[in-house]
Chain A
Amino acid sequence: MSRCTPVLLLSAAVIFITYTCCEAHAQATPATEPGTSAAPKPLSERVVDYQIDARVDARKKTIDATETLTYRNLTGQPQDTFPFHLYLNAFQPQSTFMREVRRNHPNFDWHGENYASAEIKSFEAAGGDLTSQIHFIAPDDGNADDRTVFQVKLARPVAPGESVQFKITFHDQLGEVFARTGYKRNFIMGAQWFPKVGVWWQGGWNCHQFHAGTEFFADLGTFDVRLTLPQEEIAGASGEEVSSVNHTDGTKTVTFHGEDIHDFAWTAEPEFRVFTDSFTGSAGMVKIRLLTQPGHVNMAERNIRILKETMKRFDRWYGPYPYKQITLVDPPHGGLRASGMEYPTLITGLTFWWMPKGWYLLEEAVSHEFGHQYWYGMVATNEFEDAWLDEGINNYAEMKVMDDIYGKDRSDTDFLGMTNGERSYQHRGYVGAADKDPIARFGYQYMNSASYGDITYNKTAMMLLTLEKIIGEDTLRRALRAYFMRYRFKHPAKEDFLKTLEEVSGQTLRWYFDQAVYGTQVLDYEILQSGSDRVDWVEQNPPEKEKSETLYRTTVLVHRKGDFIFPVDVLVKFDNGEQVREHWDGRDRWVRYSYDKRARLVSAEIDPEHAVWLDKDFYNNSYVAKPVSGARRKLSAYWLVFTQLLAQWLTWLV
């Protein structure tokens, strides 16, 4: 912590100096032609080009829009059938999404205000009206009531290398935010709000239904979105704002342009307070725009500071952030279900007005969601099928950022004498579901949402943290950088990542991946038995000897409780200061070490560096010959006081 203090102070000073004041209203920037301000060579293949003209009724929470989608057929074969996502239809009682929510939470009740829908008014392609051709499909579970994916068949196929233009008019009814998208009072989070074409991936269309436990997958391209909404609304969106024009009817049209992104989200609220700042990384200056709540102005500095600190480390560790802007949105109270979410160049944080400084949830949320600009945004993995590639890698990366700033034992909590490292926090999550599902599993096929979260996020982070022990922290960082640089603006799959790790480390890691990524083996080692005994134990009355002259036989029995085989070190300490370090490959179920020394055992410890974070139980990793009662005494004292207080409160009734 102390080594971070100068950095923190310096950062605070820089923020103080460079902080620009709260803008009363969104500032219109000079209009530029879409596409002229970006790098001359596209960063991605730009399979899709979306042009959306949307009118937002902020009172009715509806959107009426026209979408023109130009799709480049880079599939290498003629295509006549195209699937589209209509994510908003998930927020209906009989959708697959809601069925899964109910399955995971039997006490969940449907509330009408959460209802949302996306309705296609017309659908034209290649000059023909295909509105009547639209039919909903349910490729994952066959649910005939699910309307989150529809499909159309064109009159004639689109040849490889050719483009096809879809013109779609649609009507959205937003619901009170249930998951990520919707409204809360005046706040609107426009996410997953437009018909989005599926991805041709690994030789087929990939267009999953919207599930309770999954996120998204889409092709990269360009977005030009014109939002017409009331003038008092302060809007933010993916990409950059290129113009804002007021109309005489009290509305305004704000135009946004985004390149080499695969989704477009926007937000609007009249109450937003706007803060701007900037970050200069290896790809140039990035504008930071924070849209926060009036009651959270005191937290603006924390939000911006952690965002910049995260950007700095990602830039240094993994690669450049090539976009010109990042927008951080702070959803209002009651709208927290829109919090902690990532969209290309737009993220939502998590802020409460009362958050104490030593509780880093705000920082974790911002750091995590920014990390998704790399693991999801640019390395555009399939969140339906390989959620761990974005959430898990990102959890690991976020943890490294937080550890680097706050120290690894305090990066989650450092408050009122209580501490918690983020790695410990994530470890606790992993332990809760250690053997339930493998990491490599489709998001909607996990046992339940808890297992999805614990495995996808936490186990992956623990898997990578443990991998540091095998290949080294620096090598892992280099591997992640190589993976990012190689697969940014592409759709890599799990093996792309795993092979990159092997390639950069120069090691065969399949033995590890088979267990940690593809398997459900549990890693748990314990010191089962240990102690020192006089070698001349059979003597009833052994002769008096000096302490250092008595010969003891010390045995240490190490047991592999779980099925996960992992090589470990065992450090044995003796009371004459001597230490012995053993290395065990862990293949057998147990190993016994025996030593004849003129010293007794002090302690035996598996994984003395505490680097095997996949180990389920850290308490059984060591044995101390002489009991250390500090923890017992402390917890007993607290429990005693707690019981006394409980009794005292009860006697209030007397």
Chain B
Amino acid sequence: MMNQSGILSEGARRVWRHQRVLWWFFAVNLILASFGTVPVSSAVGRVADHSLYSQRLSEGFDLSAFFDLAGNPEVALQSKFPGSLLFALVFFVFALFLAGGILETYRGDRKLTTAEFFQACGGFLWRWVRLLIFLLIVLVPITTVGSGITAWSETLSSDAAQEKLGFWVDVVGLLLVALLLMSVRLWFDMAQVHAVAEDERSMLRATARAFRLTLGNFGSLFWVYLRISLLGWVGLATAILIWTRIPAQRVGLSFLVLESALLWWIGTRLWQRASETVWYERQWLTPVMMTAVSAPEVLPPPAPAASSEGAIS
């Protein structure tokens, strides 16, 4: 049994050591979201900047003042959503592109040159697109189950004799769906780690191989992911709790708290990826390297790590 805390701490160490990835990820997220926010800011400013009534929002958060503003034809907040969604999608593509470089960084645990990093990004992009399609296919039945649970819980909330039954069915059901989604994410993360480590070009093979790996070591892997996820959620909840206690006028401080929460959130996701990379290395790559050191006269089989490095060099 592998030392789980060792994996977590090593994963965290790699995220910390390569925190440039985290900051870039965060910064691009922030910049793209800012682009999506500009139309909102200018529209709100047109109506609110010269109105005394807007003090109800700056000195507190008056819901009617907010909805009056959101519904004002000059603001029409709802109509700004597609713009933000567009920038969120741009970030999604960016993240898809970056994933190869990030995993390559964590795998080697060394500082890649910019060229190496982006070579890895480009080298894996289309593989990730194919993998994404597989993931979406797998998600269809899960989201169907999720919708079914929600519909069932709504019926129970209305018709069951026990008033809270529907609520608890919803909570438990959605928790199960969330765990299922985490398992699926674990599986596809493994496929990515495997693809990077082995320079696997067939995503079908990578998915199948990752499925066997994940299933065979589900307990330990899931435990790694679960703990990091819980830390992510606890961090987010703590930030929200702090945010609700910040005086309404302290916009800058509340923004900082929320950004910190986002940074933590991104960090925990990268931590999961780094930890899974560590796990993969220890499970599959270390024995090979030890054999190579103790018996130099025997030629080792082609090291997957070496081949993948070759692929992006």
Asked if B248 and A417 sit within 8 Å, CB to CB, the answer is yes
Query: Given A620-B51, A628-B58, A639-B37, are A353 and B163 also a contact pair (CB < 8 Å)?
Result: yes
Return B269 CB to nearest CB of chain A, in Å.
Answer: 8
**A129 interface residue (CB < 8 Å to B):** no
| Chain A residues in 8 Å Cβ range of B159 | 185, 334
B262 A641 Cβ-Cβ under 8 A: yes
Check: B206 CB closer than 8 A to any chain A CB. Answer: no
Residue from A185, A428, A650 within 8 A of B89 (CB atoms):
A650
Contacts of B185 in A (CB 8 A): 652
Known A-B contacts A419-B62, A424-B65, A629-B45; A637 and B255 likewise in contact (beta carbons under 8 Å)? yes
B240 to chain A, nearest CB (A): 9
Q: Shortest Cβ distance from B298 into chain A, in angstroms?
A: 40
A199 CB to closest chain B CB (Å) equals 37
Tell yes or no: B63 within 8 A of A by CB. yes
List, in ascending order, chain B residues with CB within 8 A of A640's CB. 30, 33-34, 36-37, 255
Interface check B67, CB cutoff 8 A: yes
If A620-B51, A636-B40, A637-B255 touch, whether A409 touches B265 (CB-CB below 8 Å) is: no
Does the CB pair B49–A648 fall under 8 Å? no
Minimum Cβ distance to chain B for residue A330 (Å):
11
Task: Say yes or no: is A418 at the interface (Cβ < 8 Å to chain B).
Answer: yes
Given contact pairs A641-B259, A644-B30, A652-B185, A631 touches B44 in the complex (Cβ within 8 A): yes
Among A643, A648, A653, chain B packs the most CB atoms within 10 A around the CB of A643
Q: Tell whether, in the assembled complex, residue B64 and residue A421 are in contact, meaning their CB atoms are under 8 Å apart.
A: yes
Complex contact B50–A624 (CB within 8 A): yes
Asked if A628 and B157 sit within 8 Å, CB to CB, the answer is no
| Contacts of B231-283 to chain A: CB distance below 8 A | 244, 248-249, 251, 254-255, 258-259, 262, 265-266, 269
A603 to B51, CA, bound (A): 9
- Give the distance in Å from the alpha carbon of A360 to the alpha carbon of B54 in the complex: 24
B225: shortest Cβ distance to chain A, in Å? 12
Partner of A624, one of B52, B67, B72, B269: B52
Within residues 625 to 652 of chain A, which ones have a CB less than 8 A from any CB in chain B? 625, 627-637, 639-648, 650-652
Interface range for B: 35 or more
- In the complex, the chain A residue whose C-beta lies closest to that of B161 is A185
Bound-state CA distance A651–B266 (Å) is 10
Smallest Cβ-Cβ distance to B57: which chain A residue: A631
Given A424-B62, A605-B52, A631-B57, is A639 in contact with B40 using a C-beta cutoff of 8 Å?
A: yes
**Interface status of A621 (Cβ within 8 A of chain B):** yes
> In the docked arrangement, what's the CA distance between A297 and B259, Å?
41
Complex Cα–Cα for A617 and B36 (A): 27
Flag if B30 contacts A624 (CB, 8 Å).
Answer: no
**Cα distance, A418 to B67, chains bound together (Å):** 12
Given A418-B63, A603-B52, A643-B84 in contact, is the A630-B37 Cβ separation under 8 Å?
Answer: no
Decide: A413 and B34 in contact? CB cutoff 8 A: no
In the bound complex, residues from chain A placing their C-beta under 8 Å from that of B286 are none
A617 to B71, CA, bound (A): 11
B40 contacts which chain A residues (CB < 8 A)? 635-636, 639
Contacts of B41 in A (CB 8 A): 632, 635-636, 639
Query: Cβ of A647 and Cβ of B132 under 8 Å apart?
Result: no
In the bound complex, CA of A618 to CA of B65 (Å): 9
Cβ contacts under 8 Å, B292 to chain A:
none
Chain B 33-87 residues near chain A, CB threshold 8 A: 33-34, 36-37, 40-41, 44-45, 47-55, 57-69, 71-72, 80, 84-85, 87
Give the docked Cα–Cα distance between A25 and B307 (Å).
Answer: 80
Minimum C-beta distance from B109 to chain A (A): 21
Interface centre among B33, B55, B71, B164 (most CB of A within 10 A): B33
Closest to B99 in A: A654
* Contact between chains at B44 and A636 (CB < 8 Å): yes
In chain B, residues 81-110, which have Cβ atoms closer than 8 Å to a Cβ of chain A?
84-85, 87-89, 91-92, 95-96, 99
Please indicate the chain B residues that have their CB under 8 angstroms from the CB of A639 in the complex: 36-37, 40-41, 80, 84
Q: In this assembly, does A327 line the interface, its C-beta being within 8 Å of a C-beta of chain B?
A: no
Name the A residues within 8 Å of B161 (CB-CB). Answer: 185
> B29 touches which one: A619, A625, A644 (CB < 8 A)?
A644
Assess whether A634 is in contact with B33, with CB atoms less than 8 Å apart: no
Residues of A within 8 A of B135 (CB): 653
Give Cα distance in the complex from A144 to B161, angstroms.
40
User: A416 in the interface, Cβ–Cβ < 8 Å?
Assistant: yes
B32 at the A interface (CB under 8 A): yes
> Is B117 part of the contact surface with A, judged by Cβ < 8 Å?
no
Residues from chain A with Cβ under 8 Å of B147 in the complex: none
Complexed CA–CA distance, A504 and B23 (Å): 70
Residues from chain B with a CB closer than 8 A to the CB of A332 are: 163
User: A334, B29: Cβ atoms under 8 Å?
Assistant: no
Knowing A293-B163, A353-B164, A637-B251 touch, does A420 contact B49 (C-beta < 8 A)?
Answer: no
Kindly state the separation between the CA atoms of A417 and B20 in the bound complex, as whole angstroms.
Answer: 36
Give the residue of B49, B132, B158 whose beta carbon is less than 8 angstroms from that of A653: B132
With contacts A332-B163, A629-B45 taken as known, whether A647 is within 8 angstroms of B32 at the C-beta atoms is: yes
Q: Is A333 an interface residue (CB 8 A)?
A: yes
Expressed in whole angstroms, the minimum distance between the Cβ of A647 and any Cβ of chain B is 4
Q: Is B128 an interface residue (CB 8 A)?
A: yes
Across the interface, do B55 and A630 meet the contact criterion of CB distance under 8 Å?
Answer: yes
Residues on A with C-beta less than 8 A from B85 are 646
Interface centre among A421, A627, A642, A644 (most CB of B within 10 A): A644
In whole angstroms, what is the CA distance A354 to B60 when docked? 25
- CB < 8 Å neighbour of B53 from A418, A421, A622, A643: A622
Contacts of B88 in A (CB 8 A): 643, 646-647, 650
B87 near A643 with CB under 8 A, answer: yes
- Given the known inter-chain contacts A644-B29, A646-B85, A648-B262, please indicate yes or no for A617 contacting B91, CB distance below 8 A: no
Q: Please state if B163 and A651 are interface contacts (CB–CB under 8 Å).
A: no
Is A425 in the interface zone, CB < 8 Å from B? Answer: yes
Interface: A34 (CB within 8 A): no
Assess whether A420 is in contact with B64, with CB atoms less than 8 Å apart: yes
Give chain B residues whose Cβ lies under 8 Å from the Cβ of A427.
64
Q: How many Å lie between the Cα of A171 and that of B278 in the bound state?
A: 76
Contact of A428 among B49, B59, B68, B266 (CB under 8 A): B68
Whole-angstrom distance between the alpha carbons of A605 and B55 in the complex?
13
Which residues on A sit within 8 Å (CB–CB) of B58?
628, 630-631, 633-634
Which residues of the partner chain B approach A645 to less than 8 Å between Cβ atoms?
Answer: 262
Chain B, Cβ-Cβ closest to A633: B251
Taking a contact as CB atoms under 8 Å apart, the answer to whether B49 and A628 are in contact is: yes
Q: Are B32 and A420 in contact (CB under 8 A)?
A: no
Of B63, B65, B158, B258, the contact of A334 (CB 8 Å cutoff): B158
Contact with A along B157-177 (1 / 0, CB 8 A): 111010110010000000000
A632 x B45 contact (CB < 8 A): yes
- Check if B84 sits within 8 Å of A628, measured CB to CB: no
A619 and B47 contact, CB distance less than 8 A? yes
B54 and A650: CB pair below 8 A? no
A91 CB–B CB distance under 8 Å: no
B265 touches A648 (CB 8 A): yes
The answer to whether B262 touches A644 (Cβ under 8 A) is: yes
Does A623 reach chain B (CB closer than 8 Å)? yes
> Known contacts being A428-B67, A631-B48, is A653 close to B92, with CB within 8 Å?
yes
The reply on A407 being an interface residue by CB < 8 A is no
- Interface check A295, CB cutoff 8 A: yes
Given contact pairs A424-B65, A653-B135, A334 touches B157 in the complex (Cβ within 8 A): yes
- 6 residue pairs, one from A and one from B, having the closest CB atoms: A630-B58, A424-B64, A334-B158, A631-B54, A631-B57, A643-B33
User: What are 27 residue pairs bridging A and B, where the CB atoms are less than 8 Å apart in the complex?
Assistant: A333-B163, A421-B64, A424-B65, A428-B64, A603-B52, A619-B51, A619-B53, A621-B51, A628-B49, A628-B50, A628-B54, A631-B49, A632-B45, A634-B57, A634-B251, A635-B41, A635-B48, A639-B36, A639-B40, A639-B80, A639-B84, A640-B255, A643-B37, A646-B85, A648-B266, A654-B92, A654-B99
Q: A622-B53, A628-B54 are in contact. List 5 more A-B contacts (CB 8 A).
A: A418-B61, A630-B251, A631-B57, A641-B255, A641-B262
Chain A residues at the B interface, C-beta cutoff of 8 Å: 185, 293-295, 332-334, 353-354, 409, 412-413, 416-421, 424-425, 427-428, 431, 603, 605, 617-625, 627-637, 639-648, 650-654
